[in-house]
Amino acid sequence: MPKSSKAAPRKAKPEKNKSLESWIWDAACSIRGAKDAPKYKDFILPLIFTKRLCDVFDDELNRIAAEVGSRKKAFQLAKADHKLVRFYLPLMPGDPEQPVWSVIRKLSDKIGEGVTSHMRAIAKENQGLQGIIDRVDFNATTHGQRDIDDDRLSNLIEAISTKRLGLEDVEADIIGKSYEYLIRKFAEGGGQSAGEFYTPPEVGTIMSKVLQPEPGMEIYDPCCGSGGWLIKCEIAMEEQTKGKKRSGKNETKVSPLKLYGQEYIADTWAMACMNMIIHDMEGTIEIGDTFKNPKFRKKGKLRTFDRVVANPMWNQDWFTEADYDNDELDRFPAGAGFPGKSSADWGWVQHMSASLKSGADGQKAGRAAVVLDTGAVSRGSGNAGDNKEKTVRQWFVDQDLVESVLYLPENLFYNTSAPGIVLFLHAAKPKHRKGKVFLVNASQIFEKGSPKNFIPDAGIQRIADILIGWKEEEKLSRIVDYAELKKNDYNISPSRYIHTSDAETYRPLAEIVAELDAIEAEAKETDKALRKILKQLGVGA
């Protein structure tokens, strides 16, 4: 049985936050219960988001009405000048004193059609919401049957109506946390698809704390999912600056981070946009395939950032050598090469490294954190012959770009039980850390959960503090120099250097299996190439 950390249990959340989370999940379950709720996330999330927009719009109308004398005049002024409100909602109740949401709540006939029309009208008036809340058809059918019929949709609307989400009712961080809670609950029941839009929050919290984003920095996530890690970077920055204010080191108002993300899946992109707005954070989220067509460019070159965070899908095998060769943005250095078709993990690392500020011309060097399959840091090492993935890994070590590697506990992620690792990069390491890599084996710092394990709050802080300070602890962390990494054939897995058990040798089964899979894939490629040559020579069948 795995050991648990000795960390203190999580503190109970404030009752206000907890009750909102209960409400938001009960609303989601109002359609067909908790088991089926994840199937309807594309209907539920936009509706809760729209409820927040309606209630905030009401608050803004009330503020204007207090100055001009009536809600009716406030509606007219907002319609004439949309700049008076953040989002203008073209939903006018018959009685202007009634809540804006009542226009949706009072739908009694053709509800799906009506909700869809209202969503599209809102998007039409607000460019920033186009493609976000108007992409869902609440009247859609599959094989002649409604995806969500009017009775269930009516139940959902009524459940959402039971709580007000205005500016005076719930703060942005509370509604944001509750919205993230709902996304996590969907992930728990989402099976293999969950990893496409959600990653365990404690992993993102560790990464954001270790990267130490500073006010005004530009933060980028090339495969941002629901946008949670960009938000966590903002939260980490705000917590850090609040700490400085309390100690009297900083009394000035801090600038928010500039957040940038790209997401390939349209529904997940919309989820990220809603998540940013509901957290009251502004950012630019683009849609498209980052690997083949990164959207963030500057003067024909890849745009660079202060910090980069990501959890790309592991071991993607649909990128070919041509995808790397055809790149015009200098993301894949010739010395590093093509990591092999069986896994694009190091291809993503190359993209992220190329997206970091270099540290030249007086600018601060950028830093990155990326979650990868455990095999990415060990495959190919110790094997006879060449291994493309190891060649790329060796290039990163030789260039002294690898700052640290964190080995995570098992069964954290929603689409796999494998542990995963976090690779930290630094475009220009400080002199006292050059030629060294800091390794942390945190495989034992977790608590059992259902359906997944989790890292408790004290464990999160412990891991972050160790990574920030490069603190060596027995059976947990080590500073390893370049000579030892080279001796171990560029295996940079913490489990290779830090054994958490008393056994003389220990390697996780998942890591061994991943390495065997890579060897098998490499052998298949070699065999295919050999057969092609023999065929050209007229040898064999």
pLDDT tens digits, one per residue of 311-370: 999 989 989 888 898 899 999 988 898 898 889 999 999 999 999 999 887 789 999 999
| Backbone phi and psi for residue 230, each to the nearest 5 degrees, phi listed first | -65, -40
CA angle 445, 446, 447 (to 5 degrees): 145
Q: What is the DSSP string of 440-508?
A: EE-TT--B--SSS-B--HHHHHHHHHHHHHT--BTTTEEEEEHHHHHHTTT---HHHH--SSSSS----
Whether 49 contacts 133, CB under 8 Å: yes
One-letter amino acid for residue 148 of the chain? I
One-letter amino acid for residue 177 of the chain? K
**Which pLDDT value is given to residue 8?**
37
The CA R_g of the chain, rounded to the nearest whole Å, is: 26
Mean per-residue pLDDT, 473-486: 96
Among 248, 185, 149, which residue's Cα sits nearest to residue 41?
A: 185
| Cα gap 395→375, rounded to integer Å | 17
pLDDT, the chain, mean: 89
**Which pLDDT value is given to residue 507?**
58
First to last CA, the chain: 53
| Cα gap 321→313, rounded to integer Å | 19
Chain segment 151-179, per-residue pLDDT in tens: 999 999 999 999 999 998 998 888 898 98
Whether 402 contacts 427, CB under 8 Å: no
**Which pLDDT value is given to residue 252?**
65
| Cα gap 61→321, rounded to integer Å | 57
Among 500, 349, 317, which residue's Cα sits nearest to residue 419?
A: 500
| Cα gap 137→14, rounded to integer Å | 36
All domains of the chain, ordered by start, with CATH? 15-181 (1.20.1260.30), 201-498+506-515 (3.40.50.150)
Whether 421 contacts 377, CB under 8 Å: yes
Helix (H) or strand (E) holding 107: none
Helix (H, G, I), strand (E, B) or coil at 307: strand
| Cα gap 525→206, rounded to integer Å | 38
One-letter amino acid for residue 535 of the chain? K
Whether 345 contacts 396, CB under 8 Å: no
Chain segment 199-246, per-residue pLDDT in tens: 889 999 999 999 999 999 999 999 999 999 999 999 999 998 886 655
